[in-house]
Structure 1
Amino acid sequence: MAQGDMDEDFLNFESKVNQVMKLLEDMAAANKSDAESAAKKPETKSEINQDNFIVNVRQDRTVLNRKAGQKDPSDSGGPQQMDKYTFMQQMEQDAAERTKIRQERERIAQNFRSMGNDAYRKQNYEKAIQMYTKAIEHVKDSPILYNNRALCYLKLRNSKRAIIDADYVINKLDEKNLRSWLYRAAAYLRLGDEKNYENSIKFAKKNNTKEISYITAFQEKLRTDF
C-alpha cells in the first residue's frame, strides 16, 4: 500500500473515530437531560393521592391522641351544638307547657273547692266531699283539699276516712301540717283510741311550737263536743 493510501486510510479512520466519539457524547448528553427532566417531573395523581393518604393518617392519629374532652380548635360546634340548642329549646317549651297545664288545673280545682266550701257552710257535707274530691282529681298535692275533706268526714262521723286524708297529708305532703294532726287526733278520740289521740296532739305541738295555746283550746273543745 502506498504511503498516500495509508495516510488517507488513517485520516478516514480518525474521522470515523471522531464521529463515533461525538455520537457517544451526544447520547450521554441526551441521557443526562432525560434524567434531569425526570427529576423535575411533577407528581402523578397516584403519588399525590398517596401523599394525601399519609397526611390524613397523621391527622387521624392526632385526633385519636388528643386527650378526652379536649376540644378541637377547628371544631366550631356544628350539628352537635345545634342538637344541644334544640334540646334546651324543647325543654323550655315543655316547662312552659307544663306550667300552663298546671295553672289550668289549679283554676278548675279552685272552682270545685269554692263549691265545696259553699256546700260545707250549708252543712251539706256529702256534696262538699264530692266537690273536694273533684278538686283533688285536678290537683293532687294540696293539703287544704284533703284537710277540708277530712273535716267533712269528721262531721259525718266517718273517722276512718278522716284519718286516711289526714295521714296522706302528713306522710306525703306536709309532715308538720297542724290541721292534719288535729283532725287525726279528733278522729282517734272519736274512735276511743286514746294512745293515737295523745300521740297526734304531741306531734301537733312538737311541729307547731307557736300554736300551743290554739292546740290546747282545740283539745278542750274536743273534750266538750265529744
Structure 2
Amino acid sequence: MAGEEQEEDFQRFLRRVDEISKPNLVQGLNSPDPAVKEKIIAETEKRLHDQETSKEEEIKTIVNRTVINTQASVRGVFSLKLKLYADAKERAKQRKRNEHLANALKEKGNDAFRKGDYDIAIQRYTEGLEKLKDKQELYTNRAQVSMWK
C-alpha cells in the first residue's frame, strides 16, 4: 500500500514538472525581460495552486461520499415489515381456504362412512389431512373408520 502511495506521489510530481516545463514557461523563465519572468512565475504558481485546490476538492468529494444514509435503512426496515405483513396475510388466507377444503373433505368422508364405504371415507379423511395437517378430527375419524373396516 505504501509503495502505491509513493508511486502516486511520484506521478503527481512528474505531472507538475510537465506543467511547469511547457515550452512557453521555460522560454519565459529564460527571457531577459524581468516582467516576462515575473508573469511566468505567477502563472506557474497559479497552476500549482489550482492543482492543489483540485486535489483538495477531490479529497472532500471522496469524504462526502462516505456519509451514512440512515433514511435508506429505515425505508429498508419498513419495506421488510410490509413484506412480512403481506406474507402473513397471504398465509392466513391460504390456511382459511385449506381449512374450508379440509372441512368439506371431512363431511364427504362422514357421508361415505354412513353409507358403509369405508375405503372412500379413509381416502377423504387422508385428502383432508393433506390440506390441513393439524386437524385432529380427521385423524380421529380415519382411525375410527379403520377399526370398523
- The Cα shift of 1:151 comes to 0.7
2:113 is aligned with 1:113:
no
Q: Give me the whole-angstrom Cα distance separating, in 1, the residues matched to 2:123 and 2:136.
A: 16
Q: Give me the whole-angstrom Cα distance separating, in 2, the residues matched to 1:54 and 1:99.
A: 54
* SS in structure 2 of the partner of residue 94 of structure 1: helix
- The Cα shift of 1:54 comes to 5.2
Within the candidate set 77, 94, 99, 2:71 is matched to 77
Which letter does structure 1 place at the counterpart of 2:71?
A: G
Runs (5+) with no aligned partner, structure 2:
1-34
2:54 is aligned with 1:49:
yes
- The Cα shift of 1:109 comes to 0.8
2:138 is aligned with 1:138:
no
Which letter does structure 2 place at the counterpart of 1:109?
A: A
What TM-score comes out, normalization by structure 2 length? 0.56
Please provide the CA RMSD for this pair. Answer: 3.2
Who is 2:86 aligned against? 93
- The Cα shift of 1:99 comes to 1.1
What TM-score comes out, normalization by structure 1 length? 0.39
* SS in structure 2 of the partner of residue 141 of structure 1: coil
**% of aligned pairs identical?**
29
Q: 1:133 to 1:55 in 2, by over 3 A?
A: closer
Who is 2:10 aligned against? none
Which letter does structure 2 place at the counterpart of 1:77?
A: Q
Within the candidate set 123, 127, 150, 2:143 is matched to 150
